[in-house]
Amino acid sequence: MQIAFALYPGFTALDFTGPYQVLTNVPGEEVVLVTAEPDRVSDDMGLLHLDVATGLDAVMAPDIVVVPGGPGRSTAAAVDSPLVDWLRAVHPGTTWTTSVCTGALILGAAGILEGLPATTHWLSYDELAACGALPTEQRVVIDGKIVTGAGVSAGIDMAFTLVAKQWGEDVAKAIQLGIEYDPQPPFDSGSPSKASTEIRELVEAVMRG
Amino acid sequence: MQIAFALYPGFTALDFTGPYQVLTNVPGEEVVLVTAEPDRVSDDMGLLHLDVATGLDAVMAPDIVVVPGGPGRSTAAAVDSPLVDWLRAVHPGTTWTTSVCTGALILGAAGILEGLPATTHWLSYDELAACGALPTEQRVVIDGKIVTGAGVSAGIDMAFTLVAKQWGEDVAKAIQLGIEYDPQPPFDSGSPSKASTEIRELVEAVMRG
């Protein structure tokens, strides 16, 4: 299978690299990074600069598409870019079309989530609903061939779910052991229902800028 | 504070980007990527190509150093590179010196772990012991100012532990909520004690290659 990660300026690093780390460990599949204008694609921090040599038009029949998220200004620019047309063109032929975090808003802009349950970063449910999707407070949402993951780090769980569906549970479990994915967060503050009100309000204020 | 991620050819993507995603969200600190020969640094899959412009000699007083791991051939080359001399030179001045996965073997080669408890990828305990360290089967090991994380994905937990120590628990909890780090692995196969014997033997065979 050909697995395409669709990158754009201002993507969030872990949204991309979480699933990348899982999916590049599936034996025998082709992974390709694609972007609208092949060149240097930098992350939302402006610190991570990726050389991406492959344009969208060079990959018109991917079997799996992964779209990472990014801050509002980045995803807004992505929605205004050829990426959305590319998604519209390739989605009918994919086996799986997936997103992490606000990458769902880019799928949504391509009309892919119309009327479907999906998830995104917890601060972006309203925007996801505005795309016609049905925001669902789960870490990973599967609807037919569309798999969406919640905020940033949820891309890892999304990818393991996908690997199990496509290649079987043993492959997922082997990769999980290989990357020692036995998470032990020192705190239990990773979702709005678990974090304190003070922490939630702080994060909302910072992230809504 | 200045936080330096020390990269080298063949590093493992998530070893680096897990802590990167956490530490770049600490407000007001400087994050810099450094490498022995500034240029394009590619990951162990040969698919992720990073432009890294800063050489090791440009960053001689980092407050925090993070060394990611990589496969045996990559860390062996790193151990033979100026990175080890750089670690010897900067470590006495750091506030925290840290590693993820087999990055511990590079700290070990610099003599930093002599006689100290530390962790690494579960397949590399013997090599860690050969560096004079005391391999410790924990996800994150803190000894004084040295923090080591277990395999690949453990860098995320290592970074949250570090953030709580340096900037306080509320900062760690806010970043945790910001990147929605509420992990829900679909399987419980992320450590050698939890995986089945068959899965463990398979992963050992593949990773020892």
Chains A, B: CB contacts within 8 A come to 222
Assess whether pLDDT exceeds 80 at residue A209: no
Q: How confident is the model at residue B208 (pLDDT cuts 50, 70, 90)?
A: confident
> What CA dihedral angle connects A184, A125, A10 and A15, to 10 degrees?
30
The complex's ipTM? Answer: 0.97
pLDDT in tens, A71-106: 999 999 999 999 999 999 999 999 999 999 999 999
Annotate B97-119 with DSSP letters as a single string: EEEETTHHHHHHHTTTTTT-EE-
Asked whether B86 and B112 are in contact (CB, 8 A), the reply is no
Question: What's residue A34's pLDDT?
Answer: 98
CA distance A97 to A86: 12
Sequence-distant contacts of B88-95: CB under 8 A, at least 24 apart: B88/B112, B89/B60, B90/B4, B90/B59, B90/B60, B90/B61, B90/B62, B90/B65, B91/B65, B93/B61, B93/B62, B94/B62, B94/B63, B94/B64, B94/B65, B94/B145, B95/B1, B95/B63, B95/B64, B95/B145, B95/B166
**Is A180 within 8 Å of B17 when comparing Cβ atoms?**
no
Confidence (pLDDT) at B209: 74
Closest by Cβ to B20, choosing from A13, A161, A190: A13
Residues in chain B within 8 Å Cβ distance of A18: 14
B18 neighbourhood in chain A, CB within 8 Å = 14
Which residues share a beta bridge with A41?
A: A50
Q: Minimal Cα–Cα distance from B120 to chain A, Å?
A: 10
Residue A118 has pLDDT above 80, yes or no: yes
Among residues B106, B114, B44, the alpha carbon closest in space to that of B75 is found at B106
Residues of chain A found within 8 Å of residue B59, distances taken between Cβ atoms: none
End-to-end Cα distance, chain B: 40
Interface touch B18/A14, C-beta < 8 Å = yes
Q: How far is B174 from chain A (nearest CA, A)?
A: 6
Confidence band of A63 (pLDDT split at 50, 70, 90): very high
Q: Domains for chain A: give ranges and CATH numbers.
A: 2-182 (3.40.50.880)
pLDDT at residue A123, as a whole number: 97
Chain B hits for A150, Cβ within 8 Å: 180, 182
What is the model's pLDDT at position A41?
A: 98
- Render pLDDT for A136-163 as a digit per residue (tens, 0 to 9): 999 999 999 999 999 999 999 999 999 9
Tell me the C-alpha to C-alpha distance, in Å, between residue A206 and each of A141, A156, A202, B179.
Answer: 27, 24, 6, 13
Question: Cβ contact (<8 Å) for A169 and B157?
Answer: no
Distances (CA, A) of B118 to A135, B25, B107, B137, B157: 43, 26, 10, 8, 15
Q: Which residues of B are catalytic?
A: 101
Closest residue by Cα to residue A123 from A70, A170, A183? A70
| Other beta carbons within 10 Å of A27 | 9
Query: pLDDT at position A161, please?
Result: 98
Of A45, A139, A177, the CB nearest to B24: A45
Rounded to an integer, the average pLDDT of B33-49 is 97
The mean per-residue pLDDT over the stretch B19-29 comes to: 97
Q: If DSSP codes are grouped into helix, strand and coil, which group holds residue B121?
A: coil
From the list A51, A173, A185, the residue facing B183 with the nearest CB is: A185
- pLDDT for A14 beyond 80: yes
What is the distance between the alpha carbons of residues A198 and A98, in angstroms, rounded to a whole number?
33
SS3 content of chain A, % helix, strand, coil (to 5): 40, 20, 40
CA distance A175 to A72: 32
Global pTM value? 0.98
Q: Provide the pLDDT for residue B176.
A: 98
Which residue among A18, A47, A192 sits closest to B24, beta carbon to beta carbon? A47
Gap between the Cα atoms of A124 and A12, Å rounded: 15
Enumerate the residues of chain B whose CB falls inside 8 A of the CB of residue A178: 151-152, 203, 206-207
Of B75, B99, B87, the C-alpha closest to B148 is B99
Is A51–B51 a contact, with Cβ atoms under 8 angstroms apart?
Answer: yes
**Residue A203 corresponds to which tokens in the numbers above?**
């994060």
Would you name the residues of A annotated as active-site residues? 101
- Share above pLDDT 90 across residues of chain B, in percent, rounded to a whole number: 98
Tell me whether residue B126 is exposed, middle or buried, using C-beta atoms within 10 angstroms of its C-beta: 0 to 12, 13 to 18, 19 or more: exposed
**b/e burial code for range A123-157 (CB count within 10 A of at least 16 → b):** bbbebbeebebebbeebbbbeeebbbbbbbbbbbb
Q: Residue B191 and residue A203: Cβ atoms within 8 Å?
A: no
Cβ atoms A191, A133 nearer than 8 A: no
A40 and B51 within 8 Å at the Cβ level: the answer is yes
Tokens of B93: 């001045």
B193: pLDDT strictly greater than 90: yes
Tens-digit pLDDT profile for residues B93-135: 999 999 999 999 999 999 999 999 999 999 999 999 999 999 9
The pLDDT of residue A182 is 98
Indicate whether A208 pLDDT > 90: no
